[in-house]
Structure 1
Amino acid sequence: MKNVNELLGLKNPAEVNEKLNELLASFQVYYQNLRGFHWNVKGKLFFTLHSKFEELYDDAAEKVDEVAERILTLGGKPLHTFDDYLKTSKIAVVKDEHDGLKLVEAAIDNISTLIRLEREIIPVAEKIDDEGTASLMSDFISEQEKTVWMLKALID
């Protein structure tokens, strides 16, 4: 019986899975940052940001699941411990920040890092004809670019 990669026509998705795990770990830290932003935001924009951060972490949770399932689809093993996430993430933990504007800036920085990682995955996926991963990353990027624009508009 053929394995999943043979059935999908993918040669060697190991590099794609490695990059996806880096993205997964970064998404997990981003998600946890957003939870903290939601709980701890203070200031004139409290009501707006409290709701927005909840919307963003709900979206991040869905993307975490999609990335992990993509790794599994490609025959890989998604990272699943906080220890692994912290070692692998390209996003830093944001701790003890309450100022709404600084939290928005941190969210923009986090999302920009995710976009950079997603852009790095596309050519790696294309190299092995992995249209599914390339398309998923493209969809994420389009949505996140709009989010960055909107968050930037809020604080400019």
Structure 2
Amino acid sequence: MNTLNKIGLEKEDSQQIAEKLNQLLANYHLYYQNLRGFHWNIKGEYFFQLHVKFEELYTVALTKIDAIAERILTIGQQPLHSFSAYLNAASIQEAINVSGGKETVAATQAGLNVILNLEREILSLAAEKGDEGTVALMSEDINENEKTLWMLNAFMS
């Protein structure tokens, strides 16, 4: 019986990694939707800065969502693809009626922290299982998200 998937990774290992990647995918969808809402609804003295920043962040998040889903497919698994599945799998909560500058940035920071913690978990698991493609994806994303979080922290201080 063949235990390897089409790219030479253990099927069981790939399934474990895909479960975590699906959690990440779900969280990214909530993060993305929150950013869209912040972009549309931001009010107050930081409007001009944050309106543009939230558009930049949700555009980047959309690209990452696609990369995560494609990685799940690459390792022979199926990405979540319904809003109900995202809501069930995500730790990030929907931000409803949030429009103040500091409030929206704090929610964005909280979302990024959830994503970073999960990415670090996936990075360790993928390294342990020899899934270099997922390691590379997580490594790059962690670096970008840490920089974004640093900038948001600077804004809030």
TM over 0.5: yes
Q: Which residue pairs with 1:119 in the alignment?
A: 120
Q: How many residues align?
A: 154
More off after superposition, 139-148 vs 6-15: 6-15
The whole-number CA distance in structure 2 between the counterparts of 1:146 and 1:110 is 14
For residues 19-46 of structure 1, the C-alpha deviation after alignment (integer angstroms, 9 at most, x for no partner) is: 0000000000000000000011111000
1:58 aligns with 2:53: no
Runs (5+) with no aligned partner, structure 2? none
Percent sequence identity over aligned pairs: 48
Q: Which residue pairs with 1:69 in the alignment?
A: 70
The whole-number CA distance in structure 2 between the counterparts of 1:37 and 1:44 is 14
* Runs of 4+ with >4 A deviation: none
Q: Which residue pairs with 2:31 in the alignment?
A: 30
TM-score (norm 2): 0.94
Q: Which residue pairs with 1:44 in the alignment?
A: 45
Shift of 1:6: 3.8
* 2:44 counterpart SS class: coil
Q: Which residue pairs with 1:129 in the alignment?
A: 130
The amino acid of 2:26's aligned partner reads A
Q: Which residue pairs with 1:10 in the alignment?
A: 9
More off after superposition, 66-75 vs 122-131: 122-131
Runs (5+) with no aligned partner, structure 1? none
More off after superposition, 5-14 vs 25-34: 5-14
The whole-number CA distance in structure 2 between the counterparts of 1:148 and 1:128 is 28
Shift of 1:8: 2.3
The whole-number CA distance in structure 1 between the counterparts of 2:105 and 2:123 is 27
For residues 86-127 of structure 1, the C-alpha deviation after alignment (integer angstroms, 9 at most, x for no partner) is: 000111111011111110011011011100000010121112
The whole-number CA distance in structure 1 between the counterparts of 2:137 and 2:9 is 16
Q: Which residue pairs with 1:89 in the alignment?
A: 90
TM-score (norm 1): 0.95
